[in-house]
Structure 1
């Protein structure tokens, strides 16, 4: 199901919310996907306000964002 939301974000240019685990720390992130390849996702992370790379295997869940996030230009 995670892959569905990642692809939807990429195709629709729409932010999604993910639950992400890194080094035993779990965070909720709002991201907008730019690229998916080799088990990684390149996306804009609204929490860090920058482009980041996420490992798909570390994404515990994903859903459509309830907030209208926009990337600042």
Structure 2
């Protein structure tokens, strides 16, 4: 998982992750990576609208976020 996250940071990608919290609750988050430090990732969480620290081992899945594009027809 760490290699996938490092690659996403290299390409400046926004990620959708499935995360296991300390209380064993699973949540889906959309994050923008800021920094990888040891076994943690600092990222801006669009779900919580704040900077958060995530434990890499608790990230169950990570994939590039699909950006929605609005098309206006004239």
TM-score computed with the length of structure 2 as normaliser: 0.81
Structure 1 gaps of 5+ residues are: 69-73
Give the total of aligned pairs: 67
**1:45 is matched with which residue?**
45
Aligned partner of 1:56 in structure 2 is 56
Runs ≥4 residues deviating over 3 A: none
If the length of structure 1 is used for normalisation, what is the TM-score? 0.82
Over the aligned positions, Cα root-mean-square deviation in angstroms equals 1.3
Q: For 2:32, what is the secondary structure of its paired residue? A: strand
What does 1:18-33 correspond to in 2, within 5 Å?
Answer: 18-22=17-21, 23-33=23-33
In 1, distance between residues paired with 2:45 and 2:11?
17
CA distance in 1 between partners of 2:48 and 2:8 (Å): 18
- Which of structures 1 and 2 has the bigger CA Rg? 2
Tell whether the 8 Å contact from 1:9 to 1:32 is kept in structure 2 after alignment: no
